[in-house]
């Protein structure tokens, strides 16, 4: 089967879930490539905006061929940037067909705007498409405003959903959460993202009772990730004399705003790492006893699965989807509840009897490349018959 993956966003702005699924499909013997147009923003990445290539090119990444383009976004011109993004993808697709032939199916990641571009391509070429949806309700609200909304994007994206052969939300809850924008008049099937369970493999921890219990949090420093709640919980635990450490990593965690928030609370057992790469995330997980994520909005926080895959328990909030609430491995607390979060952290630190191997095996059964890759293949085969 010839599969073309089109992500709505990609490196340097994330999107590695697309690469992981491409690798999983290729490992099962299929022809898979990625077509990526990344819109660069000058205000959030001035250096990238200036130095990344201005021409389309191909490169290899972890065995996957990527046909790449970088688009320079125009400040405060959302409609222009979005429609230009779509037209660039359509143009790149024409070149792709010339080089490699028509794919059997297009796998778009997020309706905004890869799913919409895939719909336009489907109309021209008759190639079916599916959309894996990753965007949370909070991220949609940031752009569309609270529902009900008359944002110009909504009718276009609703069309992309309705005409897709299948929409694949990475959590079942996402369908109900986004119905206020997209309705539910489309075909959907929940399917987890891929976790590289070989990379984030199980490792037994040597728990030492004479050292602080080490929590980690891997998330960008933003309101959505609930760092204010997490730091307040740490302050509460510090006042109670609990012997814990917190290591935080992610974009902006080493910048002034984060450092100031830590200093204002008088926290002494916090270590900031800034943005770290994949190997750095794995190292931090292996050096930690548990992971905590105080998010206000999530779809499928992959770091929870990565942490559990290495064998440590995690603490999340009620926005954690049901498919990640692995028995014995995932504790869930209310959103914005400092006392409940602190109590959960204290409980996890005192228990120290987690069956890490069982938790890791549960993640593998749900989200390993082989499992998710085969589920995608079965779905695609049912569509292109």
End-to-end CA distance of the chain: 11
Q: All domains of the chain, ordered by start, with CATH?
A: 2-194+368-384 (3.40.50.2000), 213-365 (3.40.50.2000)
Q: Which of 24, 49, 26, 53 is nearest to 39 (CA)?
A: 49
* Tens-binned pLDDT, residue by residue, of the chain (385 aa): 999 999 998 888 777 889 999 999 999 999 999 999 988 887 666 677 788 878 899 999 999 999 999 888 888 888 999 999 999 999 999 999 999 999 999 999 999 999 999 999 999 999 999 999 988 888 899 889 999 999 999 999 999 999 999 999 998 899 999 999 999 999 999 999 899 999 999 998 877 667 899 999 999 999 999 999 999 999 999 999 999 999 999 989 999 999 999 999 999 999 999 999 999 999 999 999 999 999 998 888 899 999 999 999 999 999 999 889 999 999 999 999 999 999 999 999 988 778 899 999 999 999 999 999 999 999 999 999 7
Give, in degrees to the nearest 5, the angle at Cα 181 between 337 and 142. Answer: 55
Cβ atoms within 10 A of the Cβ of 348, count? 22
Q: In what order do the strands lie in the sheet with 270-272?
A: 270-272, 244-249, 213-218, 290-292, 314-317, 330-333
Give, in degrees to the nearest 5, the angle at Cα 366 between 360 and 368. Answer: 75
Cβ atoms within 10 A of the Cβ of 136, count? 22
Helix (H) or strand (E) holding 6: strand 2-7
- DSSP assignment string, 283-332: HHHHT-SEEE---S--S--HHHHHHHHHT--EEEETTS-GGG--TTTEEE
Measured distance CA(288)–CA(282) in Å, rounded: 10
């Amino acid at each position: 089967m010839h599969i073309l993956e089109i992500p709505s966003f990609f490196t340097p702005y994330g999107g590695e879930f697309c690469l992981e699924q491409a690798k999983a499909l290729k490992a099962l013997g299929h022809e898979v490539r990625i077509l990526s147009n990344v819109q660069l923003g000058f205000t959030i990445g001035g250096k990238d905006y200036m130095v990344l290539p201005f021409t389309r090119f191909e490169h290899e990444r972890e065995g996957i061929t990527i046909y790449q383009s970088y688009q320079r976004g125009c400040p405060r011109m959302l409609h222009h940037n979005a429609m230009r993004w779509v037209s660039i993808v359509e143009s790149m697709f024409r070149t792709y067909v010339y080089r490699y032939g028509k794919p059997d199916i297009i796998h778009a990641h997020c309706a905004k705007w890869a799913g919409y571009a895939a719909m336009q391509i489907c109309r021209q070429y008759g190639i079916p498409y599916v959309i894996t949806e990753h965007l949370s309700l909070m991220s949609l609200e940031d752009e569309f405003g609270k529902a009900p909304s008359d944002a110009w994007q909504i009718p276009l994206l609703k069309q992309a959903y309705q005409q897709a052969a299948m929409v694949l939300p990475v959590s079942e809850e996402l369908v109900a959460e986004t119905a206020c924008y997209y309705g539910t008049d489309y075909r959907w099937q929940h399917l987890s993202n891929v976790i590289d369970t070989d990379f984030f493999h199980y490792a037994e921890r040597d728990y030492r009772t004479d050292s602080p219990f080490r929590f980690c949090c891997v998330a960008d420093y933003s309101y959505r990730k609930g760092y204010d709640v997490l730091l307040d919980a740490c302050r509460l635990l510090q006042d109670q004399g609990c012997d814990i450490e917190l290591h935080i990593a992610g974009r902006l965690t080493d910048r002034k705003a984060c450092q100031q928030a830590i200093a204002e609370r008088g926290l002494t057992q916090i270590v900031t790492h800034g943005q770290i790469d994949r190997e750095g995330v794995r190292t931090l997980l292996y050096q930690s006893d548990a992971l905590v994520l105080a998010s206000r909005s999530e779809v499928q926080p992959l770091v929870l699965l990565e942490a559990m895959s290495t064998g440590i328990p995690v603490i999340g909030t009620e926005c954690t989807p049901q498919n990640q609430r692995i028995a014995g491995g995932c504790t869930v607390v209310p959103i914005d509840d400092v006392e409940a979060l602190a109590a959960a952290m204290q409980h996890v630190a005192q228990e120290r009897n987690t069956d890490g191997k069982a938790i890791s095996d549960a993640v593998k059964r749900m989200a390993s490349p082989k499992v998710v890759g085969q589920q995608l293949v079965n779905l695609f085969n049912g569509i292109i018959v």
